[in-house]
Copies of this chain bind each other. A is one copy, B any other.
Amino acid sequence: MNVDRPTIAVVGAGAVGGYYGARLAQHGHDVHFLLRSDYETVRSRGLVVESCDGNFSLSAKDVRVYDDPRRMPGADLVVVTLKSTSNDQFEKLITPLVKDGTVILTLQNGLGNEERLAELFGAGRVLGGMAFVCINRVGPGRISHTDHGVIRLGDFTPPGRSPRAERIAALFNASRIKCEVLDDLRWGRWQKLTWNIPFNGLGATFDLTTDRLIGSDDGRRMVADLIREVIAAARADGVELPESLVETQINNTTTMGPYRSSMQVDRQEGRTMEVEAILGEPLRRAHAHGVATPILEGLYRAARVVDGARGK
């Protein structure tokens, strides 16, 4: 991505994509949203954002929305915010947007998203990032942003800071989206998994908010043992994480009070849970490296059972 005013496509504009895309559009960028369920509403009424960083909206005439990627322009930057459970749609949704020099940034949860994009579109195009943000879709075309918002991103391969990643971060930072470039994307992915695996995984499978999960000795011990397994898997995968993360993640979560993780929200609202990206793929990495992760293994299996019970 090496142009002054890039064409930006947001693929899967739910809460996260809608919010970041709207911030970029608010700051004068050329943003094109690919929507599914909210397409008609946003097309006719625009996008409304209530944000702790300032409310704003994009009117129907200011927002460029599509329900078919084949009608969208080729993009310099594709921002992927689909749920990872829709990764089988990558080819259909992203192929029409790719041209020479297109860069693809996935802000999805868990592991395996960059790999899949790299297989389909070439590793050289792919960046990944984590959005640390509290955001909800409160209605069709209505987004509520209540806390945080930083994006940490980096190139998929080779790992390490690149001028390209710096340019994207600068573009975000100039649009009221705090953004940092990671020294190593894989570090960021595994670091975030030390929270997501216990709190999304156990929280959704047991249907417990974070405070109840760590409200007993048994609960804290299980969360701690699980984080230790994730640290061991990360290490075998080439990412060194400090043991102190066990305590840090639990302490930080304690200060959050009662919190429903995104996967627990998905469960409660009858939506597919991101079991493979958050639990399955990390488990397969651990297996590939011969690392024993018995709690993660049981949790993955259990989460599949709970996810399979959806809508029944």
Interface residues of A (CB under 8 A from B): 202, 205-208, 211-213, 215-219, 222, 294-295, 298, 301-302, 304-306, 308-309, 312
User: In the bound complex, what is the Cα–Cα distance between A132 and B306 (angstroms)?
Assistant: 28
Q: Which of B219, B304, B305, B309 contacts A305 (CB 8 A)?
A: B219
| CB-based contact A216/B305 at 8 Å | yes
What residues of B have a CB within 8 angstroms of the CB of A298 in the complex? 294-295, 298, 302
| CB-based contact B208/A301 at 8 Å | no
Known: A206-B306, A294-B298. 12 other contacts (CB 8 A): A206-B302, A208-B305, A208-B306, A208-B309, A213-B309, A215-B309, A216-B305, A216-B308, A217-B308, A218-B305, A219-B309, A222-B302
| CB-based contact A219/B294 at 8 Å | no
Q: Which of A216, A298, A305 has the most CB of B within 10 A?
A: A305
With contact pairs A205-B206, A206-B205, A207-B207 given, residues A213 and B305 touching in the complex (Cβ less than 8 Å): yes
State the Cβ distance, A248 to closest chain B Cβ, in Å. 21
| CB-based contact A302/B305 at 8 Å | no
With contact pairs A211-B312, A312-B215 given, residues A206 and B305 touching in the complex (Cβ less than 8 Å): yes
| CB-based contact A222/B301 at 8 Å | yes
| CB-based contact A304/B211 at 8 Å | no
Return the chain B residue nearest A222 by Cβ.
Answer: B305
| CB-based contact B218/A301 at 8 Å | yes
For this complex, 23 residue pairs linking A to B, each with C-beta atoms less than 8 Å apart, are: A202-B305, A205-B206, A206-B206, A206-B207, A206-B309, A207-B207, A212-B312, A213-B305, A215-B308, A215-B312, A216-B309, A217-B308, A218-B305, A218-B308, A219-B305, A219-B309, A222-B301, A222-B302, A222-B305, A294-B298, A298-B298, A298-B302, A302-B302
State the Cβ distance, A289 to closest chain B Cβ, in Å. 21
| CB-based contact A212/B295 at 8 Å | no
User: In the bound complex, what is the Cα–Cα distance between A216 and B312 (angstroms)?
Assistant: 9
What residues of B have a CB within 8 angstroms of the CB of A294 in the complex? 294, 298
What residues of B have a CB within 8 angstroms of the CB of A295 in the complex? 298
What residues of B have a CB within 8 angstroms of the CB of A218 in the complex? 301, 304-305, 308
Q: Which of A205, A206, A222, A294 has the most CB of B within 10 A?
A: A206
User: In the bound complex, what is the Cα–Cα distance between A222 and B306 (angstroms)?
Assistant: 11
What residues of B have a CB within 8 angstroms of the CB of A217 in the complex? 308
Q: Which 3 A-B pairs have the closest CB atoms?
A: A216-B308, A298-B298, A212-B309
State the Cβ distance, A267 to closest chain B Cβ, in Å. 9
User: In the bound complex, what is the Cα–Cα distance between A308 and B222 (angstroms)?
Assistant: 12
What residues of B have a CB within 8 angstroms of the CB of A206 in the complex? 205-207, 302, 305-306, 309
User: In the bound complex, what is the Cα–Cα distance between A202 and B206 (angstroms)?
Assistant: 10
What residues of B have a CB within 8 angstroms of the CB of A301 in the complex? 218, 222
Return the chain B residue nearest A308 by Cβ.
Answer: B216
